[in-house]
C-alpha cells in the first residue's frame, strides 16, 4: 500500500525569525483530504563536549514554552538554514554557548525532532580535545555553563531528570559509541 500523502494546497499562517507555520490540505492514501499543520525549522545541532576527564560541558537555560530551567547540551539552530554545513554550525554554537573549541569532531547522526508536525532535523556531534575560547552567546540568550561527569549526566538521562530530547539522544549515542 502506498502510504504517501500529497499536498493539494497550502497557506503560510506565520513566518517568524525561527519558524514558519503552514496549514496544508493533503490527499491521503484513501483519496480523502486532511489538514496538516507543519512547522518549518532550519534545523539544528547539539554538541557533547567531552574533556580528558570525561566531564561534559552543559548549559542551563530558561525554556519559555515550559516555564522552567532545563539542563541541556550546547546547541542551536543552523543560522543559514538546512544548506548550512552542520559541523560549522556545531563549531559556532560550542564557541558561543560554552566558550570551547574542539580539535576532534565525531558526527553521531541526526534525529527528527518531532516529525508529526515539524521539519526540524537535529545533527549530533561529539567534540573532544577541547580548548577554552571566549563565550559570545546571542544577545537574547542567557545561560549558565557547567560541567558534569559523563556518568552523572548519563544517570540523569536514564532517571528522567534530563528530558531535553537532543541531549538524551546525544548522550545515549555517545554512551554506545564510546562504551563509557
Cell of 67: 516555564
What are the angstrom distances between the C-alpha of 124 and each of 24, 64, 106? 30, 23, 9
User: From the candidates 139, 141, 151, 152, which is the catalytic residue?
Assistant: 139
Q: List strand residue ranges (DSSP E) for 19-149, in order.
A: 20-27, 33-40, 44-49, 55-63, 68-72, 75-77, 100-112, 121-132, 143-149
* Residue 141 falls in the annotated catalytic set: no
Rounded (5°) CA angle 51-54-60: 75
Rg (CA), the chain: 18
H helices within 43-135, ranges in order? 86-93
User: Pick from 113, 114, 121, 124: which is nearest to 172 by CA?
Assistant: 124
Cell of 179: 562504551
Q: What are phi and psi of 96, to 5 degrees?
A: -60, -50
- Which residues carry out catalysis? 139
Amino acid at each position: 500500500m502506498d502510504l504517501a500523502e500529497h499536498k493539494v494546497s497550502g497557506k503560510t499562517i506565520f513566518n517568524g525569525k525561527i519558524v514558519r507555520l503552514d496549514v496544508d490540505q493533503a490527499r491521503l492514501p484513501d483519496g480523502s483530504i486532511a489538514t496538516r499543520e507543519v512547522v518549518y525549522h532550519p534545523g539544528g545541532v547539539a554538541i557533547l563536549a567531552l574533556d580528558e576527564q570525561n566531564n561534559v560541558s552543559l548549559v542551563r537555560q530558561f525554556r519559555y514554552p515550559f516555564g522552567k530551567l532545563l539542563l541541556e547540551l550546547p546547541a542551536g539552530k543552523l543560522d543559514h538554514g538546512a544548506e548550512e554545513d552542520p559541523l560549522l554550525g556545531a563549531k559556532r554554537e560550542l564557541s558561543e554557548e560554552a566558550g570551547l573549541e574542539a580539535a576532534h569532531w565525531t558526527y553521531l547522526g541526526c534525529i527528527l525532532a518531532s516529525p508529526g508536525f515539524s521539519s526540524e532535523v537535529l545533527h549530533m556531534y561529539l567534540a573532544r580535545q577541547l580548548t577554552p575560547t571566549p563565550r559570545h552567546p546571542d544577545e537574547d540568550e542567557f545561560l549558565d555553563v557547567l560541567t558534569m561527569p559523563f556518568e552523572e549526566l548519563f544517570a540523569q538521562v536514564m532517571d528522567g531528570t534530563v528530558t531535553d530530547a537532543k541531549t538524551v539522544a546525544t548522550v545515549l549515542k555517545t554512551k554506545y559509541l564510546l562504551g563509557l
